[in-house]
Chains A and B, each alone.
Chain A
Amino acid sequence: MKVPEKYYDEIFEFKGAWDVPSKCGLKIIDKGERKVVIVTELYQDNPGTSVTRAGRSLAEQACAAKGVDLASALYLECNPDTRSKLSFYDEEYFEVTFGGGTPSYRLLSPGEVKELLS
């Protein structure tokens, strides 16, 4: 279940739950008025916490490292297509909003994904 490199520009190392060293794919797209931050789950190549579990902590670490204002950015979590026979590993992008409590998620349509990545 190797994640294709097309999903990320770099491997980002972050502190996961209980400080466990963790990795994700990271891509930042400059859309002019807004930056799009995409963190991609690496599955077998992530030795620690998943991007979803890491949640706001990962968002803050990634944005701090790259000088992006999280409050104004569009933050996305990506389940990459790993060419698995299992549908659980199909490609999906979620927009994540960090409110006061638990994050909320919205699944992006294929059209929205295409537009964002274009």
Chain B
Amino acid sequence: MKLKLIYPRWQKLKGQTTFNLPPHGPVAFAATLPEEVEVSFTDENVEEIDFDEACDLVAISMMLSTQARRGWEIAARFRERGKQVIFGGIATMLHAEETLAHADSIFLGESEGRMEQVLEDWRRGALKKVYNYMARQPAIELVGPARRELYKRALYNHKGVQMVDLFHASRGCRFSCYPCAVSYLGGRVFRPRPMERVVEELATIENNRLFVVDNSLAQNKEWEKQLFREMIPFKKKWISHTIEDDPEILDLAARAGAWYVYQAIYDTSDYIKERVKRYHDHGIGVEGTILLGLDNQTEDDIKRLIDFLLEIDLDLAEFTIMTPFPHTKGYDDLLRENRIFDFDWDHYNAGQVVFHPKHMSANRLQELYDHAWESFYRDESQESKMFRLFCKVALREMNEGTYRARDRRLANRSFGKEVVRKNSVNEIKIS
């Protein structure tokens, strides 16, 4: 049988540098399919969907709330053609009830060890409306290497530079943070993959740059140390979320190839300042992630936070607006207070205000968000700061003999599209 696997497009945020990374969810799902299933994968963010492509069943994998409506539209077009459509992925779990109305079937939970039965049901013409594995996570040992051979590599390349590959060493999260739905999605128990399986997968990845997408690496110190020790021989460079604030672990992370981390910057304390410094002392870059619009932030607090960011030598900053995603405490609180005014999931992109903030108007928060981006990147653009980070990793790779020159054949292409250079180098358009 042939399964058409689709990752719907979403609207990128205005004014921000857009990079299309190869999505992890679809290829992790594909790894759970029986061997005899032929998979044709389309990431709509980088290529068009051929709705007339021959296939037996359509699977739509959605990660973001902003993919949901597009996913439903795609399903409608395939269903018009008589194809059955099954949905899965994080956003399917967050928006399960609504997605059900657009699907022949939805799969909730993790698919390892479950797809044989789903496909057998489909063959018998008895596909269930809901496959509910929300409370029954499969044994973590079953998580195998993602099927990265499904990627069309040239589509994840910007002017000859290959984008990072996504990789995960664990699932679940022991934390339950206010704006986050991970505890609902992956369970509140940290589930590390067996180290031999992590190593096995790392060995299959050709790319020398990774994004370790685990929710947080700071879940268990001993596990984290072991992970980094195992990663050292691969000589890959990688991005991740938070790393434990421990000198031994930071040292191991650096030796294992930590390139830069996403670190939440939530106040203007000396602790944050020192935290950033400690990463830098170990040669690890920091992209601050700053959430704006929480109930404990006044307009002055946000302005002070922006000033603080300029003082603490962050390599990059990413501002997001508090967004009440379903199944978070943030959603519950704002719903109870009747403060959510927009339930259009296309607007749940963390760059658009969809609720009434406590200490300012929604419009004012939107202005402060724009002001934050403009202020942080006023003296040096996001592209320029990114380029500096890129140069740092390239130099490290050159010193270690792992640097790979960019692919000159793709120098005039960006994510599959031709880069049209006009008269000046500053006038580059992507067609």
Contact = CB atoms under 8 A, between A and B. Distances in A.
A77 B176 contact: no
A107 B188 CA distance: 29
Interface size classification for chain B: 20 to 34
B418 interface: no
B135, B178, B335 — which one has the most chain A CB atoms within 10 A of its CB? B135
B135 A48 contact: yes
B295 A88 contact: yes
A21 interface: yes
B188 A88 contact: no
A94 B296 contact: no
Secondary structure dominating the interface of A: mixed
B81 interface: no
Interface in B288-307: 294-296
Given A50-B329, A88-B329, A94-B336, A19 B176 contact: no
Given A77-B336, A107-B337, A86 B135 contact: no
B417 interface: no
A52 interface: yes
Contact of A105 (B96, B296, B336): B336
Given A19-B134, A87-B295, A88-B178, A44 B188 contact: yes
A52 B338 CA distance: 13
Interface residues of A, number: 22
A51 B82 CA distance: 40
Given A19-B132, A20-B134, A47-B188, A105 B295 contact: no
Q: Which of A20, A77, A94, A107 has the most chain B CB within a 10 Å cutoff? A: A20
A14 interface: no
B426 to A, nearest CB: 44
A1 to B, nearest CB: 8
Contacts of A17: 96, 134, 327
Contacts of B184: 49
Interface of B: 96, 108, 130, 132, 134-135, 176, 178, 184, 187-188, 294-296, 326-327, 329-333, 335-338
Given A17-B96, A44-B176, A52-B335, 12 more contacts: A18-B96, A19-B132, A44-B188, A48-B135, A50-B332, A53-B331, A86-B178, A88-B330, A94-B336, A105-B336, A105-B337, A107-B337
